[in-house]
Amino acid sequence: MSTGGYSKARLAHMHNVMAGHVMSGDVPGLDTLISRRDGEHVDAIGFRASDGNDPVRRDTIFRIASMTKPISAVAAMILVEECTLPLDEAVDPWLPELADCTVLRAIDIPLDDTVPANRPITLRDLLTFRLGIGAVTAPPGQYPIQAAMDGTGVTSSADLPSHPPTG
């Protein structure tokens, strides 16, 4: 049995899991929304603040952080699923600034010693953070690229390595 095109059992399970986060104190309240074709299901659970009595409603505004990447990724994958956006073709038509990239021939050489990238950057590269822009996981001051990154205010050390597109 379903309601509005959604399984009652699955909606109940989702509600119980989300309510469990509120009951455990992980969050004071939350909103879930599922939308598909002509139907949507909204479930508001808990309160707007830990010490408040104001319930969460469908229009409650939540403070979120670092959500741009997953939201953009979901939107991109919807377009891939709809065959509107290719996953493994160059992103040059949509992001011309990424066209005709050059990369360092090696990490320990001067910044003007570049070669053309092996291939164009794809949506898959963007979604998996392997487009060749990012962190250098080495002690500070070891490579010329680190000084250049530090000079722009971009940190050159992070937890994840950066790999230019290959193959």
Summarised one tens digit per residue, pLDDT across range 37-90 is 778 899 999 999 988 899 999 999 888 777 888 889 999 999 999 999 999 999
Residues 55 and 71 in one domain: no
Same structural domain, 78 and 156? yes
CB of 44 closer than 8 Å to CB of 60: yes
Digit-coded pLDDT (tens) for 136-154: 778 888 888 888 887 776 6
Domain end position, chosen among 44, 63, 82 = 63
Q: Collapsing DSSP states into helix, strand and coil, what is residue 90? A: strand
Distances (CA, A) of 48 to 9, 22, 34: 27, 11, 20
Considering the domain architecture, whether residues 14 and 86 belong to the same structural domain is answered as no
pLDDT for the residue 134: 64
Q: Is 140 found in the same domain as 70? A: yes
What mean pLDDT do residues 6-26 have? 93
Same-domain check for residues 44 and 70: no
How high is the pLDDT of residue 158? 46
Of the candidates 39, 47, 109, 123, the one whose C-alpha atom is nearest the C-alpha of residue 80 is 123
Between vectors from CA 146 to CA 145 and to CA 148, what angle results, nearest 5°?
65
Q: What's the pLDDT at 136? A: 78
- The pTM of this model reads 0.54
Number of domains forming the structure of the chain: 2
- pLDDT tens digits for 111-131? 999 999 899 999 999 998 776
Q: Model confidence at 165, in pLDDT bands (50, 70, 90)?
A: low
In which domain, by residue range, is 78 found? 66-167
Q: Do residue 102 and residue 159 come from a single domain?
A: yes
**Backbone torsions φ then ψ of 151, nearest 5 degrees:** -65, -20
| Same-domain check for residues 83 and 165 | yes
